[in-house]
Structure 1
């Protein structure tokens, strides 16, 4: 007999997706290869951005489960935060796909375009006309900071999932505002708090649903006497 698909099972799966996304978020930030034209043709570059693509997809599933589990409790703030934070991962999906599958094939044919593309998030020198991509990068940064901040605050206020993880999500995404003031060596570490927060929230969601399911199927210890 096949296992029935229920809302509780889907929510637990969303929790595990968030855990996986959080761990991948940390890995991708820590092992990110040096960004230059020569590096984009390496295996390490392609593998890293394929992992980034998987991370974005899993995160979308994870935060969707978090939001749907407490849609009433988070209210409008939760909706705004979810839409913004979800938009960030949608934008990341597109950029990770380009970096994994498009840039390597353009490294020899259009090295200047690849160089400009890589210079956008790092604030490097841009030569070509890639201002549409600059706008997308600014939008990505804004949805990350404000989406993560609002979504984390909404989850914290709802009080259903782990509050420490919700607070860490809000603080971790807001930390990106300090990137221009931090040494380059610390840039990669700023993603660690957000990865830990996603994993913590995902595990909290999985455990909360598992506990609810166990309570539902636990027989009563007491039998009413006539």
Structure 2
């Protein structure tokens, strides 16, 4: 079948909105980040949801970038690639948390505790290899990518500016977790989730209007917009 580019854009908007809703939902009554929590079903469900969220974000911000790339220029591309790298690495780490740490928590609780400490406190007592660096780089891409993508999206003026600004502020605010208690981890994730919802809804509305315009053009001229063939 044939799928129009506007329909793909709508799909990206839906993906972003769902991702944002998941990101907010998993913060509610989140268990403590401990070795004991890593053996529970709640831990696996929440981290599986975060893995799905990360994949949906990648689809969503790709649709956003393609919609506005002509207005965002080089910095828009850098922001998109950096934020994508951040969420791609988040996908990998949440996948590990969901499907590997529950097992290692039982067979090697000391190592698992060090991994959790490195992921959420920035340091570990024992040797966990390159994971400390991986977690630091993930956080850096998440913060810098959110800032650049949010600012360039705001300046482009194609999608909701309040959501773009919230994305930039929300992602940068997480840098404060280096000095704040762990209890701030959950509230500081909510602004980014709300921003993803706002940007997703904005992209969906934008592409819905494009679909309506194309439908009207087809009725008037009999010509259709370019479509992507999906088999």
**2:166–2:192 Cα contact (<8 Å) kept:** yes
Residue in structure 2 matched with residue 157 of structure 1 by the alignment: 155
Shift in Å at residue 131 of structure 1? Answer: 4.4
SS in 1 for 2:158: coil
Task: Report the count of equivalent residues.
Answer: 219
SS in 1 for 2:130: helix
Q: How does 1:103-182 map to 2 (within 5 A)?
A: 103-123=101-121, 126-182=124-180
**Distance across 2 between alignment mates of 1:212 and 1:26:** 29
Shift in Å at residue 89 of structure 1? Answer: 0.7
Residue in structure 2 matched with residue 91 of structure 1 by the alignment: 89
CA gap of 1:173–1:73, structure 2 versus 1, over 3 A, is same
Of stretches 117-126 and 46-55 in structure 1, the one that deviates more from structure 2 is: 117-126
Query: What is the TM-score when the length of structure 1 is the normalising length?
Result: 0.91
Give ranges in structure 2 of 5+ residues lacking alignment.
218-231
Residue in structure 1 matched with residue 220 of structure 2 by the alignment: none
Shift in Å at residue 69 of structure 1? Answer: 1.0
Deviations 1:71-93 (A, max 9, x none): 11111111000011000111011
Shift in Å at residue 124 of structure 1? Answer: 7.1
- The reply to whether residue 204 of structure 1 matches residue 205 of structure 2 is no
CA gap of 1:124–1:199, structure 2 versus 1, over 3 A, is closer
CA gap of 1:49–1:181, structure 2 versus 1, over 3 A, is same
Shift in Å at residue 216 of structure 1? Answer: 2.9
**Distance across 1 between alignment mates of 2:11 and 2:34:** 37
SS in 2 for 1:107: helix
- The reply to whether residue 194 of structure 1 matches residue 192 of structure 2 is yes
Shift in Å at residue 183 of structure 1? Answer: 3.9
Residue in structure 1 matched with residue 71 of structure 2 by the alignment: 73
Structure with larger Rg:
1
**1:50–1:97 Cα contact (<8 Å) kept:** yes
Query: What is the TM-score when the length of structure 2 is the normalising length?
Result: 0.89
Moved over 4 A (4+): none
Residue in structure 1 matched with residue 99 of structure 2 by the alignment: 101
